[in-house]
A and B are shown apart, each in its own frame.
Chain A
Amino acid sequence: MVLLLLWQAGSVAGFIPTSKIAAPFTIIATFWSLVASGELFSSLTVSVARVAVGFAIGVAIGGSLALVAGLSRLGEDLVDPPLQMLRTLPYLGMTPLLILWFGIGETPKIVLVAFASAFPVYLTLVGGIRAVDPKLIEAARVFGLDRIGIIRNVVLPGALASALVGVRYALGAAWLSLVVGETINADRGIGYLIMNARDFLRTDIIVVGLLTYALLGLATDTLVRLIERRALAWRPSILAAAS
């Protein structure tokens, strides 16, 4: 609060040039005008849609590959080595290549987001499947569950906690990739709003855009945490927090 007031005072007095960063009250005013004009909302929908589609594809791919690698020896040998190699690629550096491959439309942005989301989900789900207590699997077998039944009742619920941590990481990576994708080339979305503002030295709009990214990231993370609390209600830590 004190910092904000100092910042505001500095801006008014002219110590902090508006071309470097706008004053807090200007930013708030800009925020309202962007909301009122509907510009912020339309940009936001575009960005959210990109993340949603890319993230869904990434989770689906990462999750399916994890099931293949986690549930069968052969699957592990086939899937794990190439994925571990791909994982070491600095995927954000692939953006120029993606533009050459997919042009500058929606596809490269979605591919980038999907690529970023797939790995955390893959790694944590495979890890979760491996970490399931073999004694529980044995007990389930004694009580007459077949392989499918064991996977459904024991392995997947046991791996869920770890996989949800992966989902949270994946969301972080998804937003980050979107920011990169949108600032390099975009004609719509929050990234576009920011890049456009840069050309006109509108630091106030840039800050509003950044804050919007941050809030969106926070919102999706909260969503996953809510899902976690419901799906992992059996965990002692959550039980303790609820009571």
Chain B
Amino acid sequence: MATINSRGGKLMTNAVRVRGLTRNFKEVGVLDGLDLDIEPGEFVALLGRSGSGKTTLLRTLADLDAASVGSVELPASRAVVFQEPRLLPWKPVWANVALGLTGRDVRQRALAALEEVELSHRANAWPLTLSGGEAQRAGLARALVREPKLLLLDEPFASLDALTRRRMHELVAALWKRHRPAVLLVTHDVEEAVLLADRVLVLAGGRIASETIVTLPRPRDVADARVAQLRGKLLGSSSRLVLL
């Protein structure tokens, strides 16, 4: 079992520090001695083909996978936005955002988070009446309201249409700028990774197989030639890695 340490924020140099993380599923190695560091406030995107272990890594960081081996240091406050919104259908949107919160003004805090994702008008709606984009924004509000030091995004835009996805990218970039959590965005969309991240990692063979620092100024635009260039480069290198 992985040694997972949850620490407070102040003394840390890194938000996330993973060493030698190994995870086997029925004797097939998914993660094989993986090392990963994420600095506080850093936006990291993790690419990899299906079955490369992206989601397994994210589940370990969310403390949902008890069977991994290795050492993992994490901030105490973490939050996840899942691929499917995973809202409780029997609670109105605001109560979903407030789920698990304690203390006073829980409703007020939930409403403020919904305001940030521009979903105040749907605060009292039932989750099953939300559109895909609205549901993901509610999921984002539910993560943000906890003011996490580490925000884990598990392909949260994968099932959205292109236009909604673009709006979500802008929203995530703005929220990240305002709150500055460390972010690990798991995705298979290279363009999304280049648009949002400081650093793009490719997961292959159970380890971080390549690292690309993205220094382009923000806000980034898909139409920017440098974005397209970087995307092409990453696609090339990652397809090579997949062949390995």
Contacts and interface: CB of A to CB of B under 8 A. Distances in A.
Contacts, number: 54
Contacts of B63: 142
Contacts of A201: none
Contact of A135 (B78, B79, B84, B129): B84
21 contacts: A139-B80, A139-B82, A140-B88, A141-B64, A142-B62, A142-B63, A142-B64, A144-B146, A145-B99, A145-B100, A149-B100, A153-B88, A153-B91, A154-B88, A157-B91, A232-B90, A234-B89, A234-B91, A234-B127, A239-B126, A239-B128
A234 B86 contact: no
A74 interface: no
B149 interface: no
Contact of A235 (B78, B80, B91, B128): B128
A234 B100 contact: no
A96 B128 CA distance: 51
B128 A234 contact: yes
Interface of A: 135-136, 138-145, 149, 153-154, 157-158, 160, 232-236, 239
B137 interface: no
Interface of A is mostly: helix
B93 to A, nearest CB: 11
A139 B59 CA distance: 11
B54 interface: no
Contact of A140 (B62, B78, B100, B126): B100
Contacts of B62: 142
A234 B126 contact: yes
B142 A143 contact: yes
Contacts of B78: 142
A239 B78 CA distance: 34
A234 B88 CA distance: 10
Contacts of B128: 234-236, 239
A239 B126 CA distance: 9
Given A138-B64, A233-B126, A234-B127, A158 B100 contact: no
A-B residue pairs, 10 tightest by C-beta: A144-B100, A139-B86, A143-B100, A157-B90, A234-B126, A234-B90, A145-B100, A142-B80, A143-B99, A236-B128
A157 B146 CA distance: 24
Most-contacted residue by chain B among A143, A153, A160 (CB, 10 A): A143
